[in-house]
Structure 1
Amino acid sequence: MKSDSQLKQDVTAELHWEPAVNASQIGVEVKNGIVTLAGHVDSYTEKWNAERAAQRVAGVTGLAVEMEVRLPGPSQRDDADIARSANDLLNWSSSLAKDSIQVMVEKGWVTLTGQVGWDFERREVTSSIRKLMGVTGVSDQITIKPVVSVTVLKSDIEAALKRRAHNDAAMITVNVKGAEVYLSGTAHTWAERDLAGHAAWSAPGVQNVVDNIVVTY
């Protein structure tokens, strides 16, 4: 098991390795395996990429984010301008039904509401909005239309786990209540844990995934 000092070195190195992050602006502290990222970044996308980079490091058991998004002068936009860009982007998407997603912007923070048929559509929307100039954060309140049988959903997710997270599939339990999926058990890495969550979200009709998988090293 890694010491806190080793984890700090590894997380710092991973941040420097990530080309989408300016690691010189981010401070790293570690206590009992929990990593705290502080400092400031120039965009919400950079903040998001820094969080993902820290989570990729083996041994990290938790993540606290205290980074601030400080938009440089040319990147600052008013809320109405951001909302127009977000609506244009959604209207240009070929996979979304017209007016299925609504946008609200306050001080650069975008809140998305509405309903889609698949989780990949929800993820594509949030990923696209995250990259818009001037955005300081994204709240994803998009829901998924329920269309599936509980029995079929459970068996489909378990089959997907065996395909994607083969090493840890036997140690992960899947329970389904309505359109909610509950994952429990253990995984050996954050990557395997993320694969399990992605497998659950990839099933049609899933509205929420409660991930109680514990990462053990």
Structure 2
Amino acid sequence: MQTLETFAPPAAAEHLSDAAITAAIELFFLTEKGVPAHLIDVATHEGIVQLTGITDNLLASERAEAIALAVRGVRGVVNELLISTPDVPNDALYRAVTDALAADPATTGYHVACRVAEGVVAPMGVVQSWAEQQLVLRVLRGVRGVRRLVPDELTIRWGELQNSDEEITTQIRELLDWDIRVHSALVEVRTDDRVVHLSGTVGSAAEKAQVVTTAYRAGAARVDARDLFVAYWALSPELRRTKYADRSDEDIAAAVRATFLYDPRVLSYQPIILVHNGTVTLSGAVGNLRAKQDAERDARAVVGVWDVQNLLKVRTARFIPDDDVTQTIKAALARDPYLGFFDFSVYVRNGKASLYGQVGSHFEQRQAGAVAAGVNGVADLANWVSVAASPGFDGFAVYQPRPNADFALAERIRTRYFWSSALHNQAIEVLVEQGRATLTGTVATWLDREQAAYDAYNVGARYVDNDLVVATDGGL
């Protein structure tokens, strides 16, 4: 049994050496499920991380890059991971990618076809936005057997009425100003012939990636972010104080509504948005469960939102028999790169799916729920998938800790938070008793609160009592 030692933070927190960053990423890969840590090599030079080696699916490659981007001190990631997935015959893979696009509530309405050859999938067709294009690619990455995507023929129809360069710049600025995931005060935006040029400073590589994504969502044909630098000092809470200034309920409602316009899962619906003292209430109807979930997540990412009451009702556009939904969920789970090797039981009654089975990690448990929720016809979901008890990082069962095992787990959680670009400077207290982690204190956002609990599970907590409070002033 492999033993993981706690990686002690360097004494001088202001300077994070390349060696320390590499060690932190390798530790994250060992504790994060869904990433084959033993097959990935990490090298860091002046904060730029290079990932080499192999993974067995595209989602794992994407996940490894996202994990590295979120590590404090990382300025960028060069992903050179190779995909080595088991061979799937062309006919079988074609059916799998076609079924995946048809099963997803959003992409089922897109006019997209695929060519398949030796694990290489080339989607063809026309979509209405960059966000729709990325959604198609995301669905295809989630099919076991896909080695590479070639999206050259998946084009975006910009339409006759296109935003001017000035309008694109204005939209990017407004979206960044309202996004709790980025601090945009030090970011400059300029648009020339639909090419967006970003310059200035952000505090993390993950933050930079979010800024680039926002530019594309706002209509950029291309984004040049070479002059947008990542600097550790830009994470200072003092610099971000204005980000959490009081916002009126009317302005918050308008910002939530604008966010929905850039989410292809929510765009076609018109949720009713009411805001009172920063609490957002969403009501009305959407066509699928993923749209309901994404609407809430979109709202929680808006500055000034204190809480979200999600009263949205799922009303599918057409009746889909429960038996058909059951079979579609089972097929979706079977073709997922992470879940295809587990046995699940699925029961659907009046559109509510109940999912049973046993997996090896909380990541896989969440993935199972996400896959089932993403099936057309699912109006509600009860995820009863359990996580099998497994040996802890010290070789002993998590639920039967030996003396000092709780102390070691608490240190692993604190180390994880230290290296998180989002959590390292937040007031989180960690207490562990009998493998159960209790988190108290304050964090800046609901996303941070969720991430803190997820990180605690990842490093070995059997249960997490998340008593973290989201501060209305961003925790400053």
TM-score by length of 2: 0.42
1:183 aligned residue = 439
**Deviation digits for residues 44-81 of structure 1 (CA, Å, limit 9, x no counterpart):** 111111111011112211111111111012xx321122
Deviates more, 1:126-135 or 1:84-93: 84-93
Structure 2 residue runs of 5 or longer lacking an equivalent are: 1-245, 393-400
Distance (whole Å) between structure 2 residues aligned to residue 143 and residue 180 of structure 1: 17
Note the C-alpha offset of 1:167.
5.1
**Structure with the larger helix share:** 1
Tell me which amino acid in the other structure corresponds to 1:180: R
Asked if residue 37 in structure 1 is aligned to residue 282 in structure 2, the reply is: yes
**Deviation digits for residues 148-206 of structure 1 (CA, Å, limit 9, x no counterpart):** 343332222211111114555451012233343322111122333233223123224x4
**Deviation digits for residues 77-125 of structure 1 (CA, Å, limit 9, x no counterpart):** 21122222222333444544542x3322111111123322211111211
**Deviation digits for residues 18-48 of structure 1 (CA, Å, limit 9, x no counterpart):** 2321265211001122110011111111111
Tell me which amino acid in the other structure corresponds to 1:72: A
Residues matched between the structures, number: 213
2:426/2:442 contact within 8 Å kept: no
Asked if residue 9 in structure 1 is aligned to residue 254 in structure 2, the reply is: yes
Q: Secondary structure at the match of 1:133?
A: coil
**CA RMSD in angstroms, aligned pairs only:** 2.2
2:464 aligned residue = 209
2:346/2:353 contact within 8 Å kept: yes
Change (3 A) 1:98 1:187: closer
% identical aligned pairs: 28
1:116/1:122 contact within 8 Å kept: yes
2:352/2:379 contact within 8 Å kept: yes
Distance (whole Å) between structure 2 residues aligned to residue 22 and residue 166 of structure 1: 28
Of 267, 272, 296 in structure 2, the residue corresponding to residue 22 of structure 1 is 267
1:83 aligned residue = 326
2:426/2:443 contact within 8 Å kept: no
Distance (whole Å) between structure 1 residues aligned to residue 469 and residue 385 of structure 2: 27
Tell me which amino acid in the other structure corresponds to 2:264: P
Q: Secondary structure at the match of 1:89?
A: helix
**Structure with the larger strand share:** 1
1:43/1:70 contact within 8 Å kept: yes
Asked if residue 123 in structure 1 is aligned to residue 379 in structure 2, the reply is: no
Q: Secondary structure at the match of 1:17?
A: coil
Superposed, which structure 2 residues align to 1:31-70 within 5 Å? 31-70=276-315
1:139 aligned residue = 382
Tell me which amino acid in the other structure corresponds to 2:257: T
Q: Secondary structure at the match of 2:294?
A: helix
1:162 aligned residue = 418
1:103 aligned residue = 346
2:286/2:315 contact within 8 Å kept: yes
Larger Rg: 2
TM-score by length of 1: 0.86
Tell me which amino acid in the other structure corresponds to 2:465: V
Distance (whole Å) between structure 2 residues aligned to residue 33 and residue 90 of structure 1: 38
Deviates more, 1:79-88 or 1:51-60: 79-88
Structure 1 residue runs of 5 or longer lacking an equivalent are: none
